[in-house]
Copies of this chain bind each other. A is one copy, B any other.
């Protein structure tokens, strides 16, 4: 083990909780930047957006010394740094697997483009869908074209929006095509090989968590 020096010591393991907060900080900074604010202290950020000041400082300190003591952080500077840390300066290209209701909706979701992601392709197995476009103009390809399109269009993220029954198979195809990051919307467990990052959004689980809350609340009256 090497003793770390000034450059940047701790890339061992950054918690997902931290990276999620980086997204939040970035959004706050964008807001401040648009509002013309030039510098902000961790205290100021914390108060305005209901976060903890020490946590903000600690999260940022994993990646460098971005602040100036006695002043705070330069909004534009920190914003640029965060975009770089999150890899948003690379304009990542995204494919969506499954041109059903959800897949089509995600393909045209404005929030993605806004933050620097580009949805470049939809994939489906149904012949009647292949060759058409989403409302927003994203091409629907046959899933058999996946490997080729991933290569030619330099796709680095796949969003899985297929029925549960197909999810496992589709994830295997995506991994085989060389995609290293997957956002999955199907419920249930999915395995990916090491070196591939899978992030799941479980809509049923989210609703069930609300249902649990309602069941509890009603009970204690």
CA distance A19 to B20 in the complex (A): 21
CA distance A143 to B9 in the complex (A): 53
What secondary structure prevails in chain A residues at the interface with B?
A: helix
Contact B19 A212 (CB under 8 A): yes
Number of interface residues of A (CB under 8 A): 67
Contact A203 B205 (CB under 8 A): no
Q: Which of B49, B86, B212 contacts A211 (CB 8 A)?
A: B86
CB distance from A158 to the nearest CB of B (A): 10
Contact A214 B112 (CB under 8 A): no
Q: Which of B101, B157, B181 contacts A108 (CB 8 A)?
A: B101
Contact A92 B211 (CB under 8 A): yes
CA distance A199 to B183 in the complex (A): 19
Given contacts A23-B208, A105-B102, A204-B115, contact A87 B197 (CB under 8 A): no
| A54 contacts B by Cβ under 8 Å | no
Contact B101 A156 (CB under 8 A): no
Contact A214 B181 (CB under 8 A): yes
CB pairs A–B below 8 angstroms (19 shown): A14-B216, A22-B212, A23-B205, A23-B209, A27-B187, A87-B212, A88-B208, A88-B211, A92-B211, A94-B207, A102-B106, A111-B204, A115-B208, A156-B214, A157-B211, A157-B214, A180-B217, A195-B217, A201-B203
